[in-house]
Amino acid sequence: MEKLFLGLPLDQYIGQLLRNKFNWLLGIIFAIGIPLIIYRFIFGLGSVTHSSYDYPWGLFLSFGLFCMVPLSASGFMLGTTVEIFGRHDFEPIERLALLNGLLGYLFAVVYLLVDLGQPWRLSYPMIYAWGPAAVLFLVGWHVAIYLSVQVAEVSTSFFEWIGWPNAKKFIRKGTIGLTVSGIILSTLHQGALGALFSYAPGKIHPLWYSAEFMWIHFFVSSIPGGLCMVIAVSTIVIKTMAWRCDDTFKDNLNQLTLKLAKGAAMGLITYLVIKLIAVAHDNEWMYLATGWGAWYLLEMLAGVVLPLILFAYGIRHKLVGVVRFGAFLTIAGIILNRLNTALVVFNWKLYQEVPHLYEVIISITIFAIYIALYRFILNRLPILYAWQAQPSEVIVTAAVPVPAREQEQEIPARA
């Protein structure tokens, strides 16, 4: 129980909760958004969306599924680096990457549940009605299996935390198997999300559409997406909750950020090249001179080329700040690409759908729950710090670094 409250007595725990202004922001979002989510389930999808027949996938999927999943590729990227290629120098950040992957997928499923017409039938494609020639069948199966794989991968931290070393050892024995299946599943379903849009030729603007390469665009862009998400999250973590990070994490972070950026830069340059190949393959150069072309160029320049320049400069001169800015920009670029494909340039011949206000609020609310859960876990499980022996004693000292008489003022806001 004391682990749950970070080693603080309940009143102090609540006290520091209330002092944290970010919690007030979350509270306001929840106060508005959670009733709306309940409203959606009582009155149906039509009550919170525009019920569009032409845009059947609104913000819930275009943001929640198509953006969250590539940004959660971090789990399999770092898992591969450390476990398969034996790069143990990445270990201090591996667990953060695994957790980022798990939570991203989990919340992609949450967004999906909100969006599905009959979410209680989610298991139908698994057990009841199989449509194996459909790309979505593959997505469903793979996300489900991969989610379990990631639960297993992250569970080692959880077993340390609750003090079950044997369970942890059992999971660790299967690490290589879990990691390899993670690579397989990620390759296929990251690609499959792109292949889903191959079903809609003519609806998606030709610059964004490529029957042959759609899946590989989505897969390749998920690599810098996942890596940059680790850079971004670690940046936020080191700025806002440095108390929870151990020295190994703090000392290695700058070095690791630069190394991750190298990987992201290689992913980005590959992505840039294959995007251009797609334009050349379908001979779509003339579209670049249109308004859509300008939008496409903006996406590519701001979301791919500029981060590449920043990464090159930042890595060369070891400027972590520049690299971090590049990482945030890359994430924005990936999000822009997915929103463009699913919402903006979708139905480019028809009209532009602007999501319903409630749809926007619910999307923000689910994202806020994601952040809150993310922080809740980071504050507790040994993700940012290595677990020590005699856990209960150590956690108390780690979590309450201030003298007792001054704690009212000085316990920093944490959770």
Partner 1 sequence: MSKVSRRKFLAGGLAGGAAVMLAPAEKVLAAGSFSGFPDGMGVLVDLTRCVGCRSCEAACNKEQQLPAPDLPFDDLSVFDQTFHQGTQKRRPTEKAYTVVNRYRPEELDKPVYRKIQCNHCNEPACLTSCFVNAYTKTKEGAVIYDSSVCVGCRNCMIACPFNVPAYSYSEVLSPVVKKCIFCYDSRVKHGQPPACVEICPAQALTFGKRKDLLKIARMRLKKSPDKYQQEIYGEKQVGGTGWLYIAETPFEELGFDTSLQQEPIIDNVKGFLGMVPMVLAIWPALFTGFHLLATKHKDHAHDDSRVEEEKR
Which is nearer to partner 1, 42 or 404 (by Cβ)? 42
Q: What contacts 178, CB < 8 A, 6 or more positions away?
A: 79, 149, 152, 153, 171
Task: Say if residue 409 is exposed, middle or buried (CB neighbours under 10 Å; 0-12, 13-18, 19+).
Answer: exposed
For partner 1, the binding residue among 17, 32, 84, 277 (CB under 8 A) is: 84
Which parts of 215-254 interact with partner 1 (CB under 8 A)?
215
Contact 108, 72 (CB under 8 A): yes
Nearest to 95 by CA among 40, 175, 188, 39: 175
Contact status: 286 vs partner 1 (CB under 8 A):
no
- Taking the complex as a whole, how short is the minimal distance between the CB of residue 260 and partner 1, in angstroms? 18
CA Rg value for the chain: 22
Which parts of 287-316 interact with partner 1 (CB under 8 A)?
none
Which parts of 343-362 interact with partner 1 (CB under 8 A)?
349-351
Among the candidate windows 135-143, 280-288, 320-328, 373-381, which touches partner 1 by CB under 8 A?
135-143
Contact status: 184 vs partner 1 (CB under 8 A):
yes
CA distance 410 to 283: 63
Which parts of 148-167 interact with partner 1 (CB under 8 A)?
165
For partner 1, the binding residue among 124, 164, 285, 376 (CB under 8 A) is: 124
Among the candidate windows 28-36, 185-193, 303-311, 316-324, which touches partner 1 by CB under 8 A?
185-193
For partner 1, the binding residue among 382, 384, 414, 415 (CB under 8 A) is: 382
Report CA-CA distances (Å) from 245 to 1, 235, 327, 396: 21, 12, 21, 15
Q: Could you count the other beta carbons within 10 Å of the beta carbon of residue 348?
A: 17
- Taking the complex as a whole, how short is the minimal distance between the CB of residue 220 and partner 1, in angstroms? 14
Classify the phi-psi angles of 373: left when phi > 0, otherwise alpha if psi is within -120 to 50, otherwise beta.
alpha
For partner 1, the binding residue among 32, 151, 200, 360 (CB under 8 A) is: 200
- Interface mask toward partner 1 for 9-48; x: CB under 8 A: --------------------------------xxxxxxx-
